[in-house]
Amino acid sequence: MVQMESSLHVADNTGARIAKMIGVLGTRSRSAGVGDVITAHVREATPTANVKKGEVVRAVVVRTAAPIKRPDGSVLRFDRNAIVIIDKDKN
């Protein structure tokens, strides 16, 4: 689970490196899991990035440090939280 103000690594080629979660779209929850669409604030970006530092973007959570339990009993966990930035058409 990713909570409000969590630091997230950006796992795509937009040029953003680190973002902070500021909201979850479509639910009243203050936390998000894998597959949830969130809004995030870009905290760090490369100089030639498509997304600039300070922008508010929509993103999908793709990795969480919290364990993900599957119905077959297996457990997935990653070293850090990560997102992929999307546009309004969810591309």
- Please state the pTM of the whole predicted model: 0.91
Say how far residue 49 (Cα) sits from the centre of its chain.
17
Integer Cα distance of 37 and 14 in angstroms: 17
What's the chain's Rg over C-alpha atoms?
A: 13
Question: Does 74 have pLDDT greater than 90?
Answer: yes
Distances (CA, A) of 5 to 23, 73, 80: 9, 31, 15
Name the nearest CA neighbour of 39 among 60, 11, 54. Answer: 60
pLDDT exceeds cutoff 90 at 90: no
Residues recorded for the chain: 91
Tens-digit pLDDT profile for residues 8-57? 999 999 999 999 999 999 999 899 999 999 999 999 999 999 999 999 99
Amino acid code (one letter) for 3: Q
Q: What is the pLDDT of residues 53-70, one digit of tens each?
A: 999 999 999 999 999 999
Question: Residue 88: what pLDDT?
Answer: 87
pLDDT at position 49, please? 92
pLDDT at 43: 96
Q: Is residue 1 very low, low, confident or very high in pLDDT (cuts 50, 70, 90)?
A: confident
Token pair listed for 26: 């479509």
